[in-house]
Amino acid sequence: MNRVVSLPTSPTFLKALAVAVLVTAMMPAGADDTQALYQAQCASCHGEDRLGGIGPALLPGNLSRLKPQAAEAVIRDGRAASQMPGFSAQLEDTEIASLAEWIYRAPEGEPNWGRDEILASQEVTHPDGSLPDVPRFDADPLNLFIVVETGDHHATLLDGDTFEPIHRFKTRYALHGGPKYTPDGRYVFFGSRDGWITKYDIYNMKVVAEVRAGINMRNIAVSADGRYVMAANYLPHSLVLFDAHNLDLMKVYPAVGEDGESSRVSAVYAAPPRGGFIAALKDIKEVWEIPWPLLTEPVVATGHMATPLAPQRSHATPNFRVRRIPVPDYLDDFFFDLEYEHVIGASRGGQGGMVVNLDSGEKVADLPLQGMPHLGSGITWEYQGRRVMATPHLNKAAVSIIDMTDWTVIKTLETDGPGFFMRSHANSPYAWVDVFFGPNRDRVHVIDKSTLEIVETLIPEPGKTAAHGEFDRYGEKLLLSLWEEDGAVIVYDGETLEEEKRIPMNKPSGKYNVWNKTRYEEGTSH
């Protein structure tokens, strides 16, 4: 028998009831409701498990560069020059806020991306050898730049002699770690934050193959002979090896220590003199060396005015077997000497660094580098008959200069703020370092390499971020990014420091010269 309950009808009660209903309606949806909302509005592009599809993966690690408030704006208004539409007409503000909060939550189960998923993701549009071997443009193939424009996820192929754009093309979302070239400069490989590796034929200006190596990828490396590509993943915890020709999967390496502990992979690097890859592990006190099969002849580039690379030698067992090198601390960021005999690693938490001999596996020095040195952006040069390295710091207004003979800090330069990128060239008397973090982000310091003094501070445009220099192959011109959506690549005379040209770009985050990258130029990070 149903009971009829009579509610009070006083004005006070009815007003309270109306307020309660209104508050309930304005509260963010529960997890189940938000998940249903995601499946209805977002899953077709971003995947049912938030692992990505047409759109990028929507997981906390993949969204580290996007603040939740900015995510709300993207959901509400869409993203210009992309397939992301705005949902302001379909969703209430509370629903948008709930979705934005929910995608920053860790998924209930650990997402899986293994061999089967990698194989299923591969797409080869132009198999290796199917396109013409002659460039479709008239420019020095080894003095080209790839400029990554993060504002609308494009890249521009730039002539390094005339500084005229040759071609602009769309890239994957959130490229990370810098593009890597084959030694002849024909192909470039891009890695995206959500795991996609794209092989691009520069000569024909076409994407030729893609594969997804993981869910949250840190960077990629290409072997000195251009035959292999290695990917470093945060999620899943793995290294993944590919044949570079068509990005065919060769091997998946779970990043697991000898005690069974799993680790994120911070980065992977090619070490040409050693004939192998070097991997930095974030959660295990080890460095991994993975050699590729040795060549009987030195690697020789075939482009314009090319010179041979140094013959390769290996200190480890060939055929892609892992050599574990125990280290005393977790090493998150790496720098190498020119011979790749030593790795300089930054310790966790900004507590300095250490130098490890890669042959013996022994620590040879501690480095008193407070302030989280950005070793991945470090450079070297000759100073008074000695080889020195220099590195900016991520949370300290300083550049540290280190004698690589005895690993002592010979000078600390005070800067106008913490820096991110540092660049030079063997033919340039100067090293350039930005002030990427803090209120002075519009400044760039120029350091005289012979005196170790800041001799010029440039402000290309007041109030706008200036960052990431890169020289042309001859060390005569420096390209600097005006890191804004209405930004530009600015060309400077490397000797007089005078501005010569501005090329409009959409938030040009990095510029990568083919010669400097393939020849491991001492003033360019690798």
- For the chain, the domains span 16-102, 117-142+162-326, 336-350+364-526
Q: Give the separation between CA 497 and CA 126, rounded to whole angstroms.
A: 43
Q: Give the separation between CA 230 and CA 282, rounded to whole angstroms.
A: 17
Q: Which fold has domain 117-142+162-326?
A: Methanol Dehydrogenase; Chain A (2.140.10)
Nearest CA to 198 out of 172, 174, 218, 222 is that of: 172
Binned average pLDDT, 10 residues per bin, the chain of 526 residues: 46 44 42 78 78 75 73 80 77 83 78 94 96 97 97 96 98 93 97 96 98 96 96 96 98 95 95 95 95 62 39 58 92 90 82 88 89 89 96 94 96 96 98 96 98 98 98 98 97 98 97 96 88
Q: Is 133 exposed, middle or buried (0-12, 13-18, 19+ CB in 10 A)?
A: exposed
DSSP 321-352: --EEEE-SS-EEEEEE-TTSSEEEEEETTSEE
Sign for the pseudo-dihedral over CA of 484, 489, 493, 498: negative
SS3 state at 239: strand
Indicate the CATH number for domain 336-350+364-526: 2.140.10.20
Instruction: Judge whether 16-102 and 336-350+364-526 match in fold.
Output: no
Question: What pLDDT does 72 receive?
Answer: 80
| 452 residue type, one letter | L
Q: Give the separation between CA 278 and CA 268, rounded to whole angstroms.
A: 6
- Beta-carbon contacts of 1 under 8 Å, excluding residues fewer than 6 positions away, are none
Q: Give the separation between CA 199 and CA 168, rounded to whole angstroms.
A: 16
Q: Is 293 exposed, middle or buried (0-12, 13-18, 19+ CB in 10 A)?
A: middle
Say which CATH superfamily domain 16-102 falls into: Cytochrome c-like domain (1.10.760.10)
205-258 pLDDT per residue, tens: 999 999 999 999 999 999 999 999 999 999 999 999 999 999 999 999 999 999
Question: What pLDDT does 351 receive?
Answer: 66
Q: Give the separation between CA 269 and CA 375, rounded to whole angstroms.
A: 13
> Which residue stretches of 78-220 are H helix?
93-102, 115-121
Residue at token pair 């580039």? 301
Torsion on CA atoms 518, 233, 438, 482, rounded to nearest 10: 40
H helix and E strand count, the chain: 7, 33
